[in-house]
C-alpha cells in the first residue's frame, strides 16, 4: 500500500483498523500527516524488534508494514482516486517540563541522523513527529510508530511549519542538503531551514530546540577549499549564530565526521574537541541526553567518539564552573 492510500483514508474518514489516522493541514499536500495510534507501551510488541540489543542493531531499518492491511490495498487505491481534502488538523500546545521529554519534532527526520534518532526515541517509547519531504519517507516514520508530516522546509512557510510541530515539547533540527547538492541548497536547507524551524518553534511556543551543526564551523575555511564545502561551513556557522539570538532554550551540537558504525555509547564532548569522527547512533543518543538535561540550554558543544559514557559526558560538563 502506498503512502498516498493512507492519506486518502484519513481524508475520507475511512477506518483502517485503528492502527493509524491521517489528516491534512490545509488544502494541499504540504502538511499531510501520518500518525500512529498504537499506544506507546504496545509499539515494541507490534513491531516485534528483538529484545537483545545486538540483534536490535542488526534488525534496524524500515519496520515491516502490518500484513493484514495488505489485503485492503486494491479497495483503498480505488478510494484514493476520489480523495477529498480534510479539515485542518489542530492540536493544543504543550511545553517541555524540566527534562520530562514526551513528544519531539524532528526536522530532517529521514536523514541519517534523524533515522537513528527515531530508533532511539522508539526504543524509549517516546512520541515523535517527523518532518519529511517525500511520501515514502513519511511512511517510514509511521512504521516506527511516529507521526510523519509531508512538508518541504525549503518551500513551506513559517506558519505551515509551526502548524506541523504544534503540540511538541521540543524541536530537533537535523536537516541538511546532503552530499551532491550545490551551494544554493546549502543556503536554503542548512541555513534557511534552520532559521525557519527556529521561527516556527517560537511561533508554536516550543522553547526547547536542539540544532545539529558541524565540528569546526567557526574556523575559516582554507582559501583553496571547494566552493560547496565553503558554502556548507558558512551556512552552518550562520545558522548557529542566528539561533543564539533567538528567545529559545537552544543547544547546538557540533559532531565531527559522521560514520555509519554502530554506536559505542562513549564520546568526547566539550566546548572544543580535536578533529575526529563519531557514529550517527551516538549523536542520536547524545541528542536525547541533551533533551533530558535542561541545563544544557545555551551551550554550543563539539563531540567526537571517546571514552566517556554519553550521559556522564553531559553531566560532567554541567558540573564544571563555567557550564
- Maximum separation of any 2 CA atoms in the chain, in Å: 64
With residue 129 as reference, give the H or E element that holds it.
strand 127-132
Instruction: State how beta strands 20-21 and 32-36 pair.
Output: antiparallel
Query: 74 lies in a domain?
Result: no
| pLDDT per position as a tens digit, 88-136 | 332 323 334 444 547 999 999 989 999 999 999 999 889 999 998 888 8
Question: What stretches of the chain show up as alpha helix (H) in DSSP?
Answer: 3-11, 43-47, 53-59, 73-80, 112-123, 135-143, 158-165, 183-185, 192-204, 227-244, 280-291, 310-319
- Give the pLDDT confidence score for residue 125 in this predicted structure: 86
Q: Is 171 helix (H, G, I), strand (E, B) or coil?
A: strand
Query: 151 lies in a domain?
Result: yes
- The three-point CA angle 25-115-202 to 5° equals 45
Residues in the chain: 323
Query: 171 lies in a domain?
Result: yes
Cα dist from 227 to 194, 216, 224, 230, 314, whole Å: 21, 17, 9, 5, 35
- The three-point CA angle 264-268-273 to 5° equals 140
Contact 135, 24 (CB under 8 A): no
- Partners of 303 in the β-ladder: 255, 269
Catalytic one of 122, 142, 191, 232: 232
- The CATH number assigned to the domain holding 311 equals 3.40.50.720
Neighbours of 280 (CB within 10 A): 22
Number of domains in the chain: 1
Q: Which three cell numbers stand for residue 129?
A: 513527529
Q: Is 201 helix (H, G, I), strand (E, B) or coil?
A: helix
Contact 307, 270 (CB under 8 A): no
Supply the DSSP string of 1-21, one letter for each residue: --HHHHHHHHHTT---TTSEE
**Mind listing the pLDDT tens digit of every residue in the chain (323 residues)?**
433 333 333 333 333 333 233 333 333 356 666 555 545 555 444 444 444 444 444 334 433 333 333 333 333 334 333 333 322 332 323 334 444 547 999 999 989 999 999 999 999 889 999 998 888 888 888 888 899 999 999 999 999 999 999 999 999 999 887 777 777 788 888 899 999 999 999 999 999 999 999 999 998 878 777 888 888 889 999 999 999 999 999 999 999 999 999 999 999 999 999 999 999 999 999 999 999 999 999 999 999 999 999 999 999 999 876 65
Q: Which of 168, 229, 174 is nearest to 200 (CA)?
A: 168
Query: 193 lies in a domain?
Result: yes
Query: 73 lies in a domain?
Result: no
- Give the pLDDT confidence score for residue 98 in this predicted structure: 46
With residue 209 as reference, give the H or E element that holds it.
strand 208-212
Chain centroid, CA 304 distance in Å: 20
Distance in angstroms (rounded) separating the CA atoms of residues 287 and 116 = 10
Active site residue 232: yes
Query: 135 lies in a domain?
Result: yes
Q: Is the pTM of this model over 0.75?
A: no
Q: Which of 231, 135, 149, 139 is nearest to 187 (CA)?
A: 231
Contact 144, 116 (CB under 8 A): no
Supply the DSSP string of 261-295, one letter for each residue: SPP-SEEEEESS--S-EEEHHHHHHHHHHHHT-GG
Query: 88 lies in a domain?
Result: no
Q: Which of 76, 213, 14 is nearest to 22 (CA)?
A: 14
Range of the domain at 298: 94-319
Supply the DSSP string of 97-120, one letter for each residue: -TT---EEEEETTTSHHHHHHHHH
Query: 64 lies in a domain?
Result: no
Cα dist from 33 to 44, 73, 89, whole Å: 22, 19, 9
Amino acid at each position: 500500500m502506498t503512502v498516498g492510500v493512507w492519506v486518502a483514508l484519513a481524508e475520507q474518514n475511512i477506518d483502517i483498523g485503528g492502527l493509524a489516522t491521517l489528516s491534512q493541514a490545509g488544502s494541499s499536500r504540504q502538511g499531510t500527516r501520518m500518525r500512529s495510534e498504537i499506544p506507546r507501551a504496545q509499539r515494541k510488541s507490534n513491531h516485534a524488534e528483538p529484545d537483545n540489543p545486538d540483534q536490535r542493531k542488526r534488525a534496524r531499518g524500515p519496520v515491516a508494514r502490518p500484513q493484514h492491511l495488505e489485503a485492503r490495498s486494491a479497495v483503498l487505491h480505488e478510494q484514493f482516486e476520489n480523495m477529498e481534502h480534510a479539515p485542518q488538523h489542530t492540536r493544543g500546545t504543550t511545553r517541555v517540563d524540566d527534562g520530562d521529554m514526551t513528544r519531539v519534532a524532528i526536522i530532517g527526520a529521514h536523514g541519517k541522523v534523524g533515522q537513528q534518532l527515531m530508533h532511539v526515541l522508539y526504543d524509549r517509547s517516546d512520541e515523535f513527529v517527523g518532518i519529511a519531504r517525500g511520501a515514502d519517507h513519511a511512511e517510514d516514520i509511521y512504521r516506527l510508530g511516529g507521526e510523519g508530516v509531508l512538508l518541504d522546509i525549503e518551500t513551506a512557510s513559517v506558519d505551515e511549519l509551526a502548524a506541523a510541530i504544534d503540540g511538541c515539547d521540543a524541536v530537533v533540527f537535523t536537516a541538511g542538503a546532503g552530499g551532491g547538492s550545490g551551494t544554493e541548497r546549502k543556503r536554503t536547507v542548512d541555513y534557511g531551514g534552520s532559521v525557519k524551524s527556529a521561527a516556527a518553534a517560537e511561533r508554536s511556543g516550543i522553547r526547547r530546540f536542539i540544532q545539529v551543526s558541524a565540528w569546526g564551523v567557526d574556523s575559516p575555511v582554507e582559501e583553496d577549499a571547494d566552493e560547496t564545502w565553503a558554502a556548507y561551513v558558512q551556512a552552518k556557522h550562520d545558522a548557529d549564530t542566528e539561533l543564539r539570538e533567538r528567545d529559545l532554550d537552544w543547544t547546538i551540537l557540533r559532531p565531527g565526521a559522521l560514520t555509519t558504525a554502530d554506536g559505542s555509547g562513549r564520546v568526547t564532548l566539550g566546548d572544543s574537541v580535536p578533529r575526529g569522527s563519531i557514529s550517527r547512533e551516538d549523536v542520536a543518543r547524545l541528542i536525547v541526553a541533551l533533551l533530558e538535561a535542561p541545563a544544557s540550554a545555551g551551550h554550543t558543544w563539539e563531540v567526537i567518539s571517546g571514552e566517556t559514557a554519553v550521559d556522564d559526558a553531559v553531566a560532567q560538563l554541567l558540573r564544571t564552573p563555567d557550564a
